[in-house]
Amino acid sequence: MTLNKFNLPDVGEGLTEAEIVAWKVKPGDTVAINDVLCEIETAKSLVELPSPFAGTVTELLVPEGVTIDVGTAIISVSDAVSGDPTPADVPAPETPVQPLYGKLPADDGGTSGSALAGGPLVGSGPKADAVKRRPRKAAPAAQAGSAPVPAISASSITENPVVEPVETQTSSTSGMVDNRPTLGGTITGLVNRVLAKPPVRKIARDLGIDLADVVATGSRGEVTREDLVSYQSQRDAELDQAEGFWGKAGKPQDQRIERIPVKGVRKATAKAMVESAFSAPHVSIFVDVDASRTMEFVKRLKASRDFEGIKVSPLLILAKAVIWAAARNPSVNATWVDNVDGTDAAEIQVKHYMNLGIAAATPRGLMVPNIKDAQDLSLKELALALNNLATTARAGKTQPAEMQGGTLTITNIGALGIDTGTPIINPGEVAIVAFGTIKQKPWVLDGEVIPRWITTLGGSFDHRVVDGDLSARFMADVAAILEEPALLLD
């Protein structure tokens, strides 16, 4: 039998670390090559890791919620699939035993399996003791006034190990001894224990909740996620009534500070923006645009049979306008490169292809996936690509490869009702366009003030590559398409 260990791979260029978000397997599971083992969060995306081995999972080496470096071993898989004693293969004695805690949890479906406080992983190692264990006699009748302890079979003990009991309180009553059978024998003292799965314990720790204070509603007496949500909601309501957002006036200020760890998407975004802001000299320009004809064009596209079932918005026309304008002003679709060939020399690399980045605000943070070779797409194909990009990003399923190699970016701040802004250039690029909200405003047309659909475009450029004249011409070309989409037919 060979024991294979799977190390965290580099799923994207330059990945140095990732967080284990959720395990999809547990010790004892049989896996085939390419079966999903777990989900990891890289600097920008949620990625499913497939198994490079076939066999039986013997141990999960990293708990959920832990950030580790690339190359760290995360799971061990034995190549012996059949014949090994797994939880499903181990017979259980027919005589039921009674656990100390009264109830045991239901099977977690493989959603956990991590060890806490450095202890051994639940379910790992040999299961022979489950077979050797001698059936225990039923416990004596409970003392008057105490709740009866329900019986449960030994198979449940070995096959459902994922809810970890933690001692929370020991009775100080002297002279009272609990003689009920336990999983490891008899102990002295009445012990109250709280049952909860490792992910639930992690959430409780993050929220600062004592599990002993939470009313458990799980099928076997365990605290569930829903119990935590209910408890937290009640606690928040009490806090709002008692103190409000600003906290109790009498508390010292150092006790009224909320500390949020910087990791994952936020950590990567912060690093990239600082590098961009302090390495590329930004220059920003703005232009007001009459987008009334763009609005009419979008309305016609929505009614067209060719675009039936496809979401169409003014962003589609802007994307096409940016591609068109970049072809007329190629230096905006470029990269500044320092230390060429290991020397102090620098060069400008103009890209004769457009990987159009679209900044997307998601529940996981800001992501900038890009549409590869956007210059080759028809209007309909570009609409489909934008829809797919947005759907994938919101679901947190954007892959690292989809966020690499961008050449120029659009950020649609108008979707949030913002008129304009000064966006920071995405690292590795030299230009970004901010698309403001489109709303009716008074506009002078042919000497008359009439209501028109107006938007404001904001562009930021790396002044090492794009000077004032080039940036102005590029923004004017983008504005021209929004004012007259028919120019795209030229």
Just list the catalytic residues.
463
Nearest to 315 by CA among 398, 396, 371, 399: 371
Distance in angstroms (rounded) separating the CA atoms of residues 480 and 477:
5
Distance in angstroms (rounded) separating the CA atoms of residues 27 and 40:
18
Is the separation of the CB atoms in 6 and 77 below 8 Å? yes
Distance in angstroms (rounded) separating the CA atoms of residues 390 and 410:
13
Is the separation of the CB atoms in 53 and 79 below 8 Å? yes
End-to-end CA distance of the chain: 68
Length of the chain: 490
Distance in angstroms (rounded) separating the CA atoms of residues 433 and 332:
11
CB atoms within 10 A of CB 283: 15
Distance in angstroms (rounded) separating the CA atoms of residues 28 and 113:
11
